[in-house]
Structure 1
Amino acid sequence: MKIRIGYEIVYDLPQPTPMIMILGAHPTRSGDLIEPDRLKTDPAVPITRYRDGFDNMCSRLVAPAGRVRLYGNGIVRDSGVPEEVPHAAPQHAVEDLPSDTLVYLLGSRYCDTDRLSEIAWSLFSTGPPGWARVQAICDYVHDHITFGYEYARPTKTAWEAFNEGNGVCRDYAHLAIAFCRCMNIPARYCTAYLGDIGVPPVDAPMDFAGSFEAYLGGRWYTFDPRNNMPRIGRILIGRGRDAADVPITHTFGPNTLVSFKVITDEIV
């Protein structure tokens, strides 16, 4: 299967403004890229690329004052197979976890585990561990949160999403991540391209998708509490402790977002 991916983000800036972006397919998908969705700008400015501490590919630039367009288009090869469902994947004892997973047991900017620990243990401690426990968390979050773009705000934490009972895909992911960490399961936030491949199309503008990965049975597996089903054609962009580590754009100065478009379409 081939999938066309891309984005276009337009800002109005009152002054020259440094920016950092995590846009485009993750380095782990580089071997699948037929045409890279490399970031370009209009007007053209120098772009520096670097790997951050989570192995994401970041782009750094100084945008001029005025209207600035960030865009990229590419084609990626995908298996076309739904995401794996590891029913038998076991949960590790904390003392047996690899050292590089331990950071994903800790609270973070949007995953306030200290506030959710007692709730998590009351909800999920009696069920079986491993994959079944993570899936139980996803089932709960999927049913507990009502989706709506009108509920989005950049400051909403997992605790607030739990109490308000609404949010967007990143809020589903943050709450599920926090619950997993409370139950001693490493979990990390992911952002990705995710089109309507193999499912009925949604009557809404395409967007990047927030989900998470949990460490079970010696590897990381994808979970998606918003959709709560294995999907086809998820193209990873970035990973981190939560959305604060995976900014699509981080703008160091005042700005106005003029437009935002994402493309994820199967090439037939």
Structure 2
Amino acid sequence: MPAVRTLRIGCEFNHVAQLATPAAFLIRPSAETRIVRELWTTDPVIETARYHDVYGNEICRLMLPPGESLVSHYAVVEVPDEVDPADFSAPARPVQELPDEVLIYTLPSRYCQSDLLATDAWRLFGTQQPSYELVAHMQDWVWNHLEYRSGSTGSLWTAKDSFDNGFGVCRDFAHLLVTLCRAISIPARYCSGYLPDMDVPPLPTAMDFHAWVEVYLGDRWWTFDPRHNARRKGHVTIGRGRDAADLAMVTTWGMPWLRRLTVWADEDLTEPWPPLEVSMAARDPFGN
């Protein structure tokens, strides 16, 4: 059997709401993830319901109560001890040969305005044979074109903004690669989830959720990570969609304050995971 590595992953959302607020959480790893054990928990105890959206992502619905609340998900998962697979000879299929369910990922979307960048995309990449090798070249271009600036962009920032201004965060790197692929009729979709620092130098910033890209070539989806411009180990997918508008980790129908978000993705299993004590008081680093 292929070698695997064991990760602890998890997230805690500490909200403060003035009124009872409907909310939807997209934080559980997708169905293909090998989950060894996991725990959903809320404090106070909140009734929840589950459904799958149009992209197959699992959503948890609940009502955030007035006052302070903590919604958490913890898991131990197994991932292959190998980098993302690749096939540089995999071709991009003509649109007329694409499966029906893939066509949506060739179209413009809110953050990926492939129609607005079509002229630039064809100028930059239109003379090359569409294939895995071309997408790898496009990823390299995105990585060199954009400067990573932590916290530099917000919810209104689009792929065109990144293209024009030359900076962004990981979701912007992903949006721009998705947009360039779609602009030349290669299906691409946005992915979000966890990415631990496996066999690479750890980043100096706190762990957070990560965004990357899947591109349809040949007869399957392939993983590309334009933020790092490298094939990596340990991508744990939570959701897939057209762009970040489809994959908000939390959607609220109201305006609660997100007091704290904490994310884990590493191989540190020296202490029990999920944690033995998951109450709001125990998990609050402010000690209030």
TM-score band (shorter)?
over 0.9
CA RMSD across the alignment: 1.0
Q: 1:156 to 1:39 in 2, by over 3 A?
A: farther
Which structure has the bigger radius of gyration?
2
The corresponding residue for 1:258 is 259
The corresponding residue for 1:182 is 183
The alignment's TM-score, normalised by the length of structure 1, stands at: 0.96
CA contact (8 A) 1:111 1:158 kept: yes
The corresponding residue for 2:143 is 142
SS of the equivalent of 1:39 reads strand
Count how many residue pairs are aligned between Structure 1 and Structure 2. Answer: 265
1:105-124 pair list within 5 angstroms: 105-124=106-125
CA deviation vs aligned residue, 1:64-92 (integer Å, no higher than 9, x gap): 01111111111001111111121111110
SS of the equivalent of 1:236 reads strand
Q: Give the whole-Å Cα distance in 2 for the aligned partners of 1:202 and 1:127.
A: 34
Mind listing any 5+ residue stretches in structure 1 that lack a counterpart?
Answer: none
1:213-232 pair list within 5 angstroms: 213-232=214-233
The corresponding residue for 1:35 is 37
The corresponding residue for 2:205 is 204
Q: Give the whole-Å Cα distance in 2 for the aligned partners of 1:267 and 1:149.
A: 25
Q: Give the whole-Å Cα distance in 2 for the aligned partners of 1:262 and 1:139.
A: 28
- After superposing on structure 2, the runs of 4+ consecutive aligned residues of structure 1 that deviate more than 2 Å are none
Deviates more, 1:121-130 or 1:244-253: 121-130
Q: Give the whole-Å Cα distance in 1 for the aligned partners of 2:259 and 2:250.
A: 14
CA deviation vs aligned residue, 1:184-243 (integer Å, no higher than 9, x gap): 100000001101111001110101110010000100000011101011111110000001
**Structure 1 residue identity aligned to 2:222:** Y
Q: Percent identity?
A: 38
Of the candidates 10, 32, 37, which is equivalent to residue 14 of structure 2?
Answer: 10
Q: Give the whole-Å Cα distance in 2 for the aligned partners of 1:148 and 1:39.
A: 33
More helix by share: 1
Q: Give the whole-Å Cα distance in 1 for the aligned partners of 2:22 and 2:228.
A: 35
CA deviation vs aligned residue, 1:41-80 (integer Å, no higher than 9, x gap): 1111001011111000100001101111111111001111
Give the superposition deviation at 1:267. Answer: 4.5
The corresponding residue for 2:272 is none
Q: Give the whole-Å Cα distance in 1 for the aligned partners of 2:207 and 2:166.
A: 23
**Structure 1 residue identity aligned to 2:218:** G
The corresponding residue for 2:127 is 126
The corresponding residue for 1:71 is 72
